[in-house]
Structure 1
Amino acid sequence: LKRIESVSRSPVFSHFSETVSGASSIRAYGVENRFVKTAEDRVDTNQVCYYTSLVSNRWLGIRLETIGNILIFFAALFAVLERDTLEPGIVGLSISYALQITGMLNFAVRMASDIETNIVSVERIKEYAEIPQEGAWEVQPRPDPKWPAHGTVEFKDFQVRYREGL
């Protein structure tokens, strides 16, 4: 979802940049409404992707918190059930580690998400590298070497007037 959101963000920025650079032409031709509509459509598409990504991130966060809380509950339950055989230091250490697992799970998921988000940049660079190169800018049918280097235009017996009688 992050990848889709990142890809849908690019048209928003490019359209905004192009609109700002061509604002005078847009106003001159009176097509402001068309450009506003295009911008709204692109932002809407991006926001659909962003909202879905945000909601799924929150959903995953709740699930990870639940898993962490279940681990804490079982660590505490085990400590209570085995209170006669376990030493207090071991109980405290196990509950302390169980409390840290929730943060570690969230951190691991965030790092995996960041890696996936940043890999989009690498994919774009790879796509740009695979674009076929354009040919060299040369005019293939070159003129004959005897062709004149400089041209001139001559007017012989040429007259110009606005109307008859002038």
Structure 2
Amino acid sequence: MRWLAVRLDLISIALITMVTLLIVLMHGQIPPAYAGLAISYAVQLTGLFQFTIRLLVESEARFTSVERISHYIKNLECEGIRHIPDSAPALSWPQEGGIQFKDVEMRYRDNLPLVLKKLSFSIKPQEKIGIVGRTGSGKSSLGMTLFRLVELAGGSITIDGINIAQIGLEDLRRKLSIIPQEPVLFIGTVRVNLDPSSQYSDAQIWEALEKTHMKASIAQLPERLDSEVLENGENFSVGERQLLCVARALLRSSKILLLDEATAAIDMETDGLIQETISESFCHCTTLVIAHRLNTVLSCDRIMVLDQGQVVEFDAPSALLSDENSRFCAMVNAAEGGTNKTVDGFAEQ
């Protein structure tokens, strides 16, 4: 923009110079009033010229956005159908929360290599599974297939005997809960963030806040549940935002809960509060814990170790630790030799 302004000024100076030279050369032929008017208009042309050109450039840039949106509308593939009446599961589904992966394959786009390769395993109802592995091993991709954020390239996933690919996305996702690594809060009130669809009473919301150790903090706010939440929850700390996300998941009472490195960005004290809440309040759920710290998976019923999109180990923590050649045992040994390292770092070592 600066360079454009310089070039436009040079053009304007050339026009002013030309006008003044013509007036001098045609001395006596042009009335003085007309000569002054011509010079005045030439000087005003400098600002008008810059404004007009900048307006054209900005308009072109704005219409680039319109062109991009039009391209997305015409070319991007839509997600699956939100609701399929003929294959809609019962309102009480899933009753137990058993999950089975059978030869699951997934890639993010056509012609890209597979991220998950022939993944097969079964998770029992109310079982707590820890998922570990180095960066790029497929931990988060496994969660994306469960929520059908990316459709499978092969295989099937069943929950309580129902293939999730054969039901609507809304029917599936409203039955699952996730506590993400980055806590997500929206502009609105505390009540709207915890209960967007207004399904629960104030007593239930306060109970969820009490279980997540956030009741005292919200009670101190001037308007309590109706207190304002800024964009991205900027008026709350990262730990408080994560606890509010746990309270939101707690209200949904889902049979299946996914924790995608939920405590990676918070301090150890808040991590302990979240782990305590999960162990007490989600004991009747099937829980998948994508681990960032080893202490978050040592209490799991079984631990799954992923490598390059495949299950290399899947057993109880005691069984994996007793095997000196297991990869999980190597992670624990690496943890004992360092401080404040993540599971990803252990796996790489």
Shorter-chain TM-score bucket reads 0.3 to 0.5
**Taking CA–CA contacts closer than 8 Å with sequence separation of 6 or more, which of the two structures ends up with the larger relative contact order?**
1
Please identify which structure carries the higher helix content.
1
Q: Which has the higher strand share?
A: 2
TM-score, structure 1 normalization: 0.46
